[in-house]
Chain A
Amino acid sequence: MSVRRALTIVVLLLSVSFPFWGSPYFVGRIFTPALFLGVIALSLSLLAGFGGMVSLAQMTIAGLAGYGYGYLTVTLGQPWWLGILGGLLVAALAAALFGLIAVRSSGIYFLMITLALGMVVYALANQNRSVFGGHTGILGIRAPELFGQSLAERTVFYYLCLGVGLASYAYVRYLARTPFGLALQALRDEPRRLAALGYHVALHRVAAFTLAGFLAGIGGLLAVWYNGAISPTTIDLTRLINVMVIAVIGGLAYAEGAFLGALVFVLVTNFASSFTQRFNTVIGLVFLSTVLLSPEGLSGLLDRLARAVRRRIRPGAALPQRFPTE
């Protein structure tokens, strides 16, 4: 059994049994948010890792799913399943639209355009009362109830987030091996050659952006159930950047990095705030040192460490496979 597989099993066992031995605070306030933030950050890893598209609008898309759910269930009084469908539809459509606008650019241009798009949506949410509820947003959003049991109950919600997190992680890993995933990675490396081979470059990018938007939308629904409300603050500049911070700390090009980064982020914001008010400075410094010292993030660091150890033990061992990088 490989080390990797053993590690996977250990992580799985620990996370599934966690509510039985972990403190309620850690289950509800640390790991649960880390999981849904991880899903949102995963949508960025998917775009950046495969597609070479570094988007700052993932939180906006997640937030739009939350707004869609809140508008349908609270403002219009529709049932929760309609809210879920509507929220995800809004997220996917917004992502497709953003994608159409931004895909003709790449690199830092893409980053700038998605950031501007995200901030425009923030301004709209702040100004518009009829749909977005203006500055207050939409309050009193409730998670669905199944068999008389609210999904927002701590343990239930933890398992929901865990299930969604694992499923989306598995899906992203699977996607990397599908023809579509392979085409995306090729697009990231050699768009011109792919175009010459007859691939529709822009269409693939828009499709990837829409897919990632759908994923972000799922994370956004979990987040809005957790918070019970949504307001423009949920999608302000700081929150947009937080998704980037999470993905970069964990390792932008690693699917597992999204969750690792989210866990570090939630831990730092929770615990740094108990001894200093300047926890944002701590987060910023962690982020800066990651970018400057280990651009591949924590996952990259662990990967390098594991490789070094393996070389010590078995010189000439096969290089481990890993999530593609730029």
Chain B
Amino acid sequence: MSWPQFVTVTLNGLTLAALYFVVAIGFTLIFGVLRVVNLAHGSFYLLGGYVGWTVADRTGSWVLGAVAALVAAALGGLLLELGLLRRIHGQDLREALVTIGVSIVAADLMLAQWGGFTYDFSPPDAITGGVRLPLLGIGYPKYRLFVLAFALALGLALWLLLARTRLGIVVRAAIDDRDMVAAVGIDVQRLFALMFAVGAGLAGLAGVVGGSVLSISSGEDARYLLASLIVVIVGGMGSLPGTAVAALLVALVEQYSLALFPTYAAIVSFLLMVVVLVVRPQGLFGRPA
């Protein structure tokens, strides 16, 4: 691999990692606090992408589209939690099955609404076009660098929220022991609803941010669901630092193997997951169940 190619592949890996992080962090939050494996997570990504595209198309503002995506997916998540999941909390298998059912219906309805077309976003001029990177000596799309910065900012904001605020303390306590949190008088049902909205909303936002890297079309839900699954399996279910590290690891491994041996890249992701599961079944940062 030549130097410019190596730099490009590494940067692609980093931006993909940023995207995986934004998608998977919502999955992790929902799993960590609610113990729900949300297999409809990919659907929220796709919903965000479609709604965001439609709003951006009508208003001409990419930022408005991103906000709309966040809100639409968050509302969708709230609806799923309050309408269907709340009644069966604690039965984790049944909850996972409900999210599967929702993902089937959602995929079909979105196909009916938006068809099988591919939608391209046009982000603001400030973050489109290329930029020549100093020191590295290669050109790189500005938008991908924006995705990287966005993920870093999001990660930092989440960390501050979790480490420094009262809500963050409650969330971390709930991840550790939600029965105890309920016992000390905190309204966990409200916390659950909030976390579901935040998790789904982040997936929706990722739909616009990620959809702008390539495009958005039906089938993307499956792709990002898989990415979220592998990232949380590798990183440890419910662990936030684990999600960040695993997103980086999974995305870099994926990009390097795609560059080196394209027809077997899937095997490498598979091996990564297998090695982690054999050495640490609970994931890199997970605690033993």
Binding site for B on A (CB under 8 A): 54, 101-102, 104-105, 107-109, 111-113, 115-117, 119-121, 123-124, 126-130, 236-238, 241, 244-245, 248, 277-278, 280-281, 283-285, 287-288, 291-292, 295
A128 contact set on B, CB distance < 8 A: 263-264, 266
Task: Give 20 pairs: A residue, B residue, CB < 8 Å, sorted on A.
Answer: A111-B93, A111-B96, A112-B233, A116-B273, A117-B273, A119-B222, A120-B273, A124-B264, A127-B266, A128-B264, A237-B222, A238-B104, A238-B107, A241-B103, A244-B100, A248-B97, A277-B112, A284-B102, A291-B97, A292-B98
Is B265 in the interface zone, CB < 8 Å from A?
A: yes
**When the two chains form their complex, are residues A241 and B98 in contact, meaning their CB atoms are under 8 A apart?**
no
Of B14-22, B203-211, B223-231, the stretch lying at the interface with chain A is B223-231
**When the two chains form their complex, are residues A108 and B104 in contact, meaning their CB atoms are under 8 A apart?**
no
B266 contact set on A, CB distance < 8 A: 120-121, 123-124, 126-128
Is B277 in the interface zone, CB < 8 Å from A?
A: yes
**When the two chains form their complex, are residues B93 and A278 in contact, meaning their CB atoms are under 8 A apart?**
no
A101 contact set on B, CB distance < 8 A: 273-274, 277-278
**When the two chains form their complex, are residues A127 and B94 in contact, meaning their CB atoms are under 8 A apart?**
no
B118 to chain A, nearest CB (A): 16
**When the two chains form their complex, are residues B100 and A241 in contact, meaning their CB atoms are under 8 A apart?**
yes
Interface size class of B (residues with CB under 8 A): 35 or more
Q: Which 9 A-B pairs have the closest CB atoms?
A: A284-B104, A284-B105, A288-B101, A123-B266, A280-B108, A124-B266, A237-B222, A119-B226, A120-B270
State A233–B281 Cα separation when bound (angstroms): 30
A68 to chain B, nearest CB (A): 17
B265 contact set on A, CB distance < 8 A: 123, 127
State A129–B105 Cα separation when bound (angstroms): 33
Is B174 in the interface zone, CB < 8 Å from A?
A: no
**When the two chains form their complex, are residues A115 and B105 in contact, meaning their CB atoms are under 8 A apart?**
no
A120 to chain B, nearest CB (A): 4
Binding site for A on B (CB under 8 A): 37, 39, 84, 87-88, 92-94, 96-98, 100-105, 107-109, 112, 222, 225-226, 229-230, 232-233, 237, 262-267, 269-270, 273-274, 277-278, 281, 289
B229 contact set on A, CB distance < 8 A: 112, 115-116, 119
State A113–B270 Cα separation when bound (angstroms): 11
A288 contact set on B, CB distance < 8 A: 84, 98, 101-102, 105
- 17 A-B pairs besides A111-B37, A112-B37 with CB distance below 8 A are A54-B93, A101-B274, A104-B277, A105-B289, A108-B93, A112-B233, A119-B222, A123-B269, A127-B263, A127-B265, A238-B104, A281-B104, A281-B105, A281-B109, A284-B102, A288-B102, A292-B98
B278 contact set on A, CB distance < 8 A: 101
Q: Which of A111, A120, A129, A292 contacts B269 (CB 8 A)?
A: A120
* Residue of A whose beta carbon sits closest to that of B272: A120
B267 contact set on A, CB distance < 8 A: 120, 124
State A287–B98 Cα separation when bound (angstroms): 8
State A283–B108 Cα separation when bound (angstroms): 10
* Residue of A whose beta carbon sits closest to that of B92: A108
A102 to chain B, nearest CB (A): 8
A264 to chain B, nearest CB (A): 15
A281 contact set on B, CB distance < 8 A: 104-105, 108-109, 112
A280 contact set on B, CB distance < 8 A: 104-105, 107-108
A294 to chain B, nearest CB (A): 12
A119 contact set on B, CB distance < 8 A: 222, 225-226, 229
A165 to chain B, nearest CB (A): 25
A295 contact set on B, CB distance < 8 A: 94
**When the two chains form their complex, are residues B104 and A283 in contact, meaning their CB atoms are under 8 A apart?**
yes
State A111–B273 Cα separation when bound (angstroms): 15
* Residue of A whose beta carbon sits closest to that of B277: A101
**When the two chains form their complex, are residues B233 and A113 in contact, meaning their CB atoms are under 8 A apart?**
yes
A291 contact set on B, CB distance < 8 A: 94, 97-98, 101
**When the two chains form their complex, are residues A127 and B264 in contact, meaning their CB atoms are under 8 A apart?**
yes
**When the two chains form their complex, are residues B277 and A113 in contact, meaning their CB atoms are under 8 A apart?**
yes
* Residue of A whose beta carbon sits closest to that of B281: A104
A237 contact set on B, CB distance < 8 A: 222, 225-226
B57 to chain A, nearest CB (A): 24
Q: Which of A54, A109, A126, A241 contacts B104 (CB 8 A)?
A: A241
* Residue of B whose beta carbon sits closest to that of A118: B226
| Residue in A102, A107, A238, A288 with the greatest tally of chain B CB atoms within 10 Å | A288
B280 to chain A, nearest CB (A): 10
* Residue of A whose beta carbon sits closest to that of B231: A116
A116 contact set on B, CB distance < 8 A: 226, 229-230, 233, 273
State A79–B278 Cα separation when bound (angstroms): 38
B102 contact set on A, CB distance < 8 A: 284, 288
**When the two chains form their complex, are residues A292 and B84 in contact, meaning their CB atoms are under 8 A apart?**
yes
State A42–B269 Cα separation when bound (angstroms): 30
State A237–B222 Cα separation when bound (angstroms): 7
